[in-house]
Amino acid sequence: MVFALDVGNTNIKCGVFINGELVNSWRMSTDMDRTADEYGITIVSIFKHIDLDPAEVRGIIISSVIPSINYTLEHLCGIYFHIKPLFVSPGIKTGMNLKYDNPKELGADRIVNAIAAYKTYGGPCIVVDFGTATTYGAISANGDFLGGCISPGLKISTEALTRSAAKLPRVELIKPECVICKNTVNAMQAGIIYGYVGQVDFIIKRMKKELGSDALVVATGGLSSLMAAETKAINEVNSLLTLKGLYYIYEKNSALEKGDAS
């Protein structure tokens, strides 16, 4: 059994793999104030709730965009699983050539998503992760990560608008049926959601132009289904992409430790 954790700015996505199959997954809030014991007790309770034995976990892999939380997570893995986790960090073997000016700057989640997308769909492909930030990554036909871009996430954009404009209220991310709206709430919803769709369409179109070929576009992250319903630019939605990428990386590094370079 392999336990995978993808630590984002808002949520921690967790997944349990048995014989290469993702058998269960869940999300927890990312909370910098929680201790290793608080995280550990929560995770062990979830394992028991879904009828899995934490003692059967043979390996743990973590990708994190919050370096300051890593010690807490490493500590909980030692206390509650008696395992030293593998972190997606510089030096880990990914099997992917990173065509980035400084690969150490590249977020672990972007690497993991790129690997999973290429393993699942082949290349060329484009991965769009709708999280706290929205990240775009381009993968070549032969599996190289070519780079991409980062934009403020949909929720961040919404919060910035309501925080900076005194008369604008907080709104739910629900799409109205039109963009010529007759009240402030619908007008904001239309501008936020359809405006974001326009950004997605343009960036994907520009990335395909720079790639010089068509490419399959895969969306992941919490708002991927909402965006995919409004644009034809997205071909696939895969909410489990990051967790599957973590498993691929874990298995590759485990094989290398055992002396199997294949």
Measured CA to CA, the distance from residue 159 to residue 177 in angstroms comes to 22
Whole-number pLDDT of residue 257? 66
Active site residues: 109
pLDDT in tens, 126-141: 999 998 899 999 999 9
Distance of CA 155 to the CA centre of its chain: 15
pLDDT value at residue 19: 93
* 3-state class (DSSP) for residue 58: coil
Asked if 14 and 28 touch (Cβ cutoff 8 Å), the reply is: yes
Pairwise CA distance, residues 102 & 104, whole Å: 5
* CA 196 – CA 202 distance, rounded (Å): 10
Q: Which domains does the chain have, with CATH numbers?
A: 2-87 (3.30.420.40), 103-241 (3.30.420.40)
- Residue 171 CA to residue 68 CA, distance in Å, equals 32
Q: What is the dihedral of CA 93, 99, 104, 107, to 10 degrees?
A: -90
pLDDT value of position 126? 97
Do you know the residue count of the chain? 262
The predicted structure's pLDDT at residue 159: 86
Look at residue 90 in the predicted model and tell me its pLDDT. 79
The structure tokens listed for 110 are: 């972007």
**Phi, psi of 85, deg, nearest 5:** -75, 155
Could you tell me the pLDDT band of residue 88, with boundaries at 50, 70 and 90? very high
**Mean pLDDT value across residues 76-99:** 91
- pLDDT digits 0-9 by tens, 218-261: 999 888 988 898 899 999 999 999 999 999 999 999 876 666 55
The 3-state DSSP class for residue 232 equals coil
Predicted local confidence at residue 259, as pLDDT: 63
Instruction: Read off the pTM.
Output: 0.86
Highest mean pLDDT among 17-26, 101-110, 152-161: 17-26
Overall average pLDDT of the 198-227 stretch: 93
More confident residue, 262 or 22: 22
Mean predicted lDDT score pLDDT of the chain: 91
Give the per-residue pLDDT at 156: 86
pLDDT of residue 262: 47
CA–CA separation, 71 vs 171, rounded Å?
36
